[in-house]
Structure 1
């Protein structure tokens, strides 16, 4: 199993896709509980949702499932949200707080997974960030995510449709933050929040260094915006998706258009 798929584009935009993969080795799949084997916490169809929106965008996609190891968590396992319910580097529970493993992986197995999956994904992503920045003088990393809109274990009530994370404004230039936030807030029929429950995972925090010309922003979409149902079989709703893709295309296009200003600001 190849842990990461890369498409090298010519634009300053990179799409990170750490949670769309559903691949698990049979021996790992067999260790999951029946509930875990549903793979319910997948970012369902996100790679399809973003496909072709910006043809020249670079994409870096993890093919392995987040239950194997989470590519958007720190490799040392430190919590991204201390004091809040969350899932770890190798999650022991699902998003509802239910156990995932018949026998939880030990430290040696977690380390083996880190080397086999987490490290190759981030080596590929780091290489693309460096390549794009060398070509354009700036790199814009847009990390693509989705999650069920109602998960009491993680948050109260209903999640907004667009959840924008910039780690409190530190992971990208203010122009990026305001451009994306303004578009999402003004999108008719959708709700949006900036740096709410999801402020940006490890990818956004690790790579976002605007003073160095690398800008990172996370977009967590409520799955109700593009799925027929947020339960098995998690089917893709093409009508919903096309309406959403209209906004995503505009957001990504605006980010590409900002690149010259961002490049000038880092000189």
Structure 2
């Protein structure tokens, strides 16, 4: 039997807005639900919105963290399923950022009744290169170095990665906020989540995602090139790719209006 109160506290679940249709917003690695704040004032006029933090992120209950459960993205997917079951949700629109796109994809395959549509912001099914057929953007050695930097100099790692993720042409305030968010995450949990995020390969699941899906890709993203969005759009049976004229991997923060309009149009 699911302890419903525990689930909502564990993941710091919040419900806002009004509307017959529900949006389920899932933040990316090293972030929390606060990263959606540029979208929620307008979206909450049209939809009911579910916000939450993954265990180990934001104001979640860190005592609930289990290295075993969260050694795969499926562990995070289980959390989303439990939140949906607790709230008695179905037919919601799932909106994920970065690694959450594939976590939402896992949920959509395991429990297709929960989400009727998916919106993926800067997704990738795999960060690794497998030449010649697939280029995720990183060789295994690159990612090993990144994880080693986390172990040796966590603050240095955060300060290196934040501008890369946010996009160097975007505001210093946003870059600083992301770096601060990385730094406020427990380093051991962040290290485990980074390893799961960067080393996982879910390309094989794309064909099984049957829900209508909108892929929002950035024109210039150091973590997920347009070619990855094109690959996903080819593999997923019912998907559209929309490229936003932007730099960086956090379009919901740097270009909220474009993302907001796309969401309202697609989810209505």
TM-score, with structure 1 as normaliser = 0.29
TM-score, with structure 2 as normaliser = 0.29
- Structure (1 or 2) with the greater helix fraction: 2
